[in-house]
Structure 1
Amino acid sequence: MLASTPALADGNDVAAYLRGRSASASGHIDIATADYARALTAAPHNPVVAIRAYRSALAAGDDALALRAAIVLDQAGVAPADTALIPLALAASANDPATADAAIARMKGTPLGLLVPALTQWTAFAKRAPASSASTATDPAARRFAVETRALLSIAGGHVDEGMTALTALGGAGAALDLRAAAARLLVGAGQGARARTLLTPEELALATPANPTLGFGVSWLLTRVAGELASAEPSPLSIALTRAALRADPTNDRARLLLALSLSSQAAQRAALIVLDGIAPTGPFGESAATARIVILGAAGRGAEALTIARTAAVRADSTANDWQRYGDLLAQAGREAEAAPWFRRLAERPGATWSDWLQYGGALDRAGRWTDAEPALERAVALGPDQSLALNYLGYARIEHNENATAATRLLARAWALKPDDDSIADSLGWAYFRSGDTARALPLVERAAIGEPTNAEIDEHLGDIYWSLGRHYEARYAWRAATVTAPATDETRLTGKIADGTPPRARH
């Protein structure tokens, strides 16, 4: 086990180390990296300092410091597995398969060992040597990456039919986007644009920029592929290590750049994330995704006003797109400015090819803005376009109940929604509430009780349950449900809920 406090030469060096920790915790990666570099200079063999310097350097993109710290960790025998990614990426960038093989050998027996079968196929291709069979990989994940790599290398080697057959076995148009995009890029690079287009949807065609099957391309793709798999998991330093290495191997890999920015932001390094996004061309294949990520990251950094300004600038341009309108509308709605969001959602709903969800979004914004008369036709349009969409049915039915309008028709809508999704607690609550408002408490109670069990932190359901209990004279249980509601209810509901707890509430059912 490493010592918890590093032994440094003097007080100034200790101060640099402690400043680095403080800056890192607050997301100031550039400051932290500079301080860790000073501390490592003062204690050049200290693995405690080195590991922090290594992680901070990866986040900041300081290759020299990352390599220096990795050497210290390796000499101390405590280097994490991902330090092997640095020499691997540098070798791949230089198209040096022999050096890459030495780095790959270091991964065997580590958590990154699952990449070895796929990586060795790329180095064999670079050396024009026979590759080992993908089936030799024993770990399921390792085998999957190896089989995907074999499909790509078949295309790269001119065996396009074989590669396309392998892609079909891997899911064809339903395979992972990173795999399909890589295959399409190789096909375009080989003059097979028509076949490339069969792998992508119309919205994805911009990803099919031509690529050559270099070692840098292959290693960068594989590391990005793994980072993409990790993107939905808990934030991890490994995601940063993978994407930094992917960019060293292929500096044009904007997919890796995007994943790196999101990983940095998830670890409170928003400033570093925004710098990474600056490297993505606005008009490139990942320009739209980068624009969305920038707005999300600015919001996470507490710079919501700046995010709104950027989104508005894009939305009002003469050449603005549906994505621009969506981003700006979403931000306005998140800020509680539903009335301002509604016109942008209306643009989406009225464009050719609009779906039920576009009309639901528009109608919902109008409803929350207090414009029920305008909202109802939009919500009806959503149901007409999506007659089997439980979300649309539930929204319109519940809204009509809340607006005291056409309770019988509203209850039918909610019953349809519940029949479509009988395990949805929100819909069960809506239907139960509709029964209660119509005076059928016997049918209402079990539905709302079930919903409260399924969603114990849903304040609206807890309040409904309290109202029903009160109407039945079960006042103790009613107050208990209302108190539960106060735990997660928004501040705007506090006065109403505390009033109910203090004085009770008259039954809301109509008899």
Structure 2
Amino acid sequence: MRQTLANRFLSGAALATLLMAGVHSTALAATSAEDSKAHVEKPFDMSTIDTFSGAFLAARTADGDRDFPNAIGFYKKALAFEPGRVDVRERLMLALFMNGDFDEGVRYAKDLKNDKAVERVTGVARGLAAIRDREYNAADKALDYKGPNDLDRLMNALLSAWAELGASKGKQAVARMAGLKGPPWYDIFKNYNAGVAANLIGDTDGARKYLADAITDRDGAATATDLFVRSVMALATLESNQGNKQKALDALSVGENALNNYAPFKAMRTSINAGEKLPPLITTAAEGAAGVLFGVGGALNRPGAEDTVMLYLQFARALDPKSADMLILLGGIAENVGQEDKAVTYYRDVPKTSPMSRLSEMQLGLTLAKGGNLDEARQHLKALVEADPTDLRSYLAYGSVLSDAKDYPAMAKNYDDAVTSIKQPTRSQWSIYFQRGIAYERLKDWPKAEPNFRKALELSPDQPQVLNYLGYSWVDMNRNLKEGLDMIKKAVELKPDDGYIVDSLGWAYYRLGRFDDAVTELERAAELKAGDPTINDHLGDTYWRVGRTLEAVYQWKRALGDEPEAAEIPKIEDKIANGLPPLDKAGETAEKPDDRIAPAGQEGDKKS
């Protein structure tokens, strides 16, 4: 359902066309070959660009890299050369919105309001600005939409309804939201918005009904998970503040059944049990309108749609800058596109009083590590563990950073502490034991590692990562060979498109001397995970054993070019120069066993 929704919007809405295909892309033809060469071969410097084409090319390049501050500067410089270029103003407006410069972007949107190429963007932006400024009649006019796209129609209708509520027509607004006609996936959007709007105007019974319908909508929860979470939190807040403690906890239970061990639900449960008054999610029409953009952005959030989602979330941020879930979603998208510094800023902006705070703090720690700030990340996540020793997700977050730092003694202690905090192990806690096993395996303490892998499988028998890790370890140590190989085969059946697991099967065949079988699996692994140095190295070894020596050398050279770990480089270079040593009489390889017992081609702890 969610995929269908995203595909319908991304294929039909003008906004996506603007962001993905570009506005007036033929304008690049105006760039001369000389300018292109000059500006591609060296970094862009604003002071050295003295032509329109140079500035425009620099802006487009920065835009493509999502370097919006520089894109904005270069687009403005291009306009200084040719002020009449509508295509440049269109792109500048989009870059401003993507950078979070909403007010300046709106000025361009007003100037371009009659430009058909960007009318969907300018209409929404002007409507949102009017709602924020309490100019509700102007908002309704700007948001008028009569096009064919279902999602655009839903979004604009909900935004117009929030403008109507702002104009003191709350009952009409709620009725308009609840009465929208459209595909079945409209329901969760309608019910959430009608619910929080009804609550805002004091219609508690109506709010309860709409929000209850939202949280029991299974298809809706799959279509718009972020909006489902909001619906659960809104209903729990309503019931708690009405003195209905058990009903509030029941609402959270519905959410927890869908999202196990979700930190914000846990935080709300603690507050409700403590009798604390909870702030409502929505207190103004502007915040309600921001929630519409947040809900749409969350439903569309998938690889390839980052720019579209980011634009909607930046619009939402302009109206509700302290919305915790919106900031966390923005942070996640920034991470996905390699902008860790921006992600850190978004996570730090999440209010400490929000139930989402602990979730943002965990993401902050992981992002700090991803950006190379390992010491700060370790201190930050360790403090989270100490603050709430019962929160198993914080152990997993901290453990992943310790794993990246290869601090396996600290990693083992972290998971020892996690296991101590578990009173009765459940299926969902398999990963704690899996990671604990990895820590001890890394420390070469197999007697402590193996029981943890077995416990993980006892809790969740069909976890492909555990099957792969334990099975490969046995094969690598020349013990439990049949059971180990069967485990790896089962892991491949469960995840046939996982190049790392397929590589493990191929490498297991290699270790068992079944080289023809190894070639088959490792060739498939190389197709699934092209460019992985370990897989290409393994394939080279296997080619050598079956007599395909030229292909072996080629694969080793590919592995060397794919930036393997430093310790592997001299080994690969030696194989390129000298090949592999001969097999011994028993048919085993004469090479020393890998120091790495982890499943071939991966650090297993990164695959949980």
Q: Normalised by the shorter chain, which TM-score bucket?
A: 0.7 to 0.9
**Partner of 1:177 in structure 2?**
225
* Equivalent-residue separation in structure 1 for 2:435 and 2:234 (angstroms): 39
1:510 and 2:588 are equivalent in the alignment = yes
Q: Secondary structure of 2:280's partner?
A: coil
SS of aligned partner of 2:216: helix
Q: Which amino acid aligns with 2:348?
A: D
Q: How far is 1:369 from its partner?
A: 4.2
* Greater displacement, 362-371 / 26-35: 26-35
Deviations 1:340-389 (A, max 9, x none): 43322333344315522211112223323444454333323323333332
Deviation, structure 1 residue 314? 4.0
1:189 aligned residue (207, 228, 238):
238
Shift of 1:223: 0.4
Query: Is contact 2:502-2:525 (8 Å) kept?
Result: yes
Residue 567 (structure 2) aligns with = 492
Any residues of structure 2 matched to 1:120-199 within 5 Å, and which? 120-123=160-163, 127=169, 128-129=171-172, 130-131=175-176, 136-137=181-182, 144-145=185-186, 148-150=189-191, 152-153=193-194, 156=198, 158-159=205-206, 160-161=208-209, 164-165=212-213, 167-171=215-219, 176-187=224-235, 188-189=237-238, 191=242, 193-194=247-248, 196-199=251-254
Q: Which whole-Å deviations, capped at 9, do the CAs of 1:454-506 have from their partners, x for residues lacking one?
A: 44444444444443443344434443443444343434322222322332223
* Alpha-carbon distance between aligned partners in 1 of 2:460 and 2:342, rounded to the nearest angstrom: 42
Letter of the 2:226 counterpart: D
2:432 counterpart of 1:327 = no
> Is the 1:14–1:39 Cα contact (8 Å) retained in structure 2?
no
Any gaps of 5 or more consecutive residues in structure 2?
1-23, 32-45, 269-277, 590-608
1:74 aligned counterpart, secondary structure: coil
Q: Please state if 1:98 is matched with 2:146.
A: no
Give the corresponding residue for 2:604. none
Which of 147, 151, 155 aligns to 1:115? It is 155
Please say if residues 233 and 252 of structure 2, whose CA atoms lie closer than 8 Å, have aligned partners that are also in contact: no
Q: 1:42 to 1:215 in 2, by over 3 A?
A: farther
SS for the counterpart of 1:500 is helix
Pair 1:122–1:507, CA change in 2 (3 A): farther
Rounded Cα–Cα distance in structure 2 between residues aligned with 1:423 and 1:360: 22
Contact 1:418 1:428 in 2 (8 A): yes
Q: Which residue of 1 aligns with 2:20?
A: none
Deviation of 1:396 (Å):
1.0
**Which AA in structure 2 matches 1:153?**
A
Any conservation in 2 of the 1:16–1:35 contact (CA below 8 Å)?
no
Q: Structure 1 CA distance, aligned partners of 2:88 and 2:528?
A: 47
Q: What amino acid does structure 2 have at the position aligned with 1:502?
A: A
Partner in structure 1 of residue 442 of structure 2: 368
Q: Which amino acid aligns with 1:89?
A: L
For residues 466 and 533 of structure 2, the distance between their equivalents in structure 1, rounded to whole angstroms, comes to 21
1:471 is aligned to 545
- Structure 1 residues 374-383 or 447-456, which shifts more? 447-456
C-alpha distance in 1 between matches for 2:78 and 2:561: 46
* Cα offset, 1:3, TM superposition: 5.5
Q: Distance in 2 between matches of 1:275 and 1:39?
A: 30
Alpha-carbon distance in 2 for matches of 1:95, 1:300: 42
AA of the residue aligned to 1:183: S
- 1:230-269 C-alpha deviation (Å, 9 max, x unpaired): 3323364433332232233334422122223344455565
- Cα shift at 1:14: 7.2
**Pair 311,426 (structure 1): closer, same or farther in 2 beyond 3 Å:** closer
Deviation at 1:43, TM superposition (A): 8.0
Residue aligning to 2:108: 69
For residues 384-429 of structure 1, the C-alpha deviation after alignment (integer angstroms, 9 at most, x for no partner) is 3333323212101211222344434433433454565566554444
* 1:249-307, Cα deviation, whole Å (9 max, x unpaired): 33442212222334445556555544443321234222123223333544565544543
Alpha carbons 2:192, 2:227 under 8 Å: kept = no
Post-superposition shift, 1:12? 8.1
Taking every aligned residue pair, what percent have the same amino acid on both sides? Answer: 25
Q: Distance in 1 between matches of 2:135 and 2:476?
A: 68
CA RMSD after TM alignment: 4.3
Structure 2 residue 468 is the aligned partner of structure 1 residue 394: yes
377-386 or 153-162, which deviates more: 153-162
Which of 238-247 and 155-164 deviates more? 155-164
Amino acid at match of 2:415: F
Amino acid at match of 1:200: G
Question: Following the alignment from structure 1 to structure 2, what is the Cα–Cα distance between the partners of residues 49 and 297?
Answer: 34
| Residue 377 of structure 2 corresponds to residue 377 of structure 1 | no
| CA 1:336–1:147: 2 relative to 1, 3 Å | closer
User: SS at the partner of 2:112?
Assistant: helix
Aligned length: 503
Matches within 5 A, 1:396-411: 396-411=470-485
2:312 counterpart residue number? 242
Partners of 1:367 and 1:375 within 8 A in 2: yes
Tell me, yes or no, if the aligned pair for 2:322 and 2:349 is still in contact at 8 Å. Answer: no
Partner of 1:219: 289
**Cα 1:404–1:223 shift into 2, 3 Å:** same
Equivalent-residue separation in structure 1 for 2:486 and 2:187 (angstroms): 52
* Residues 1:87 and 2:126 aligned together: yes
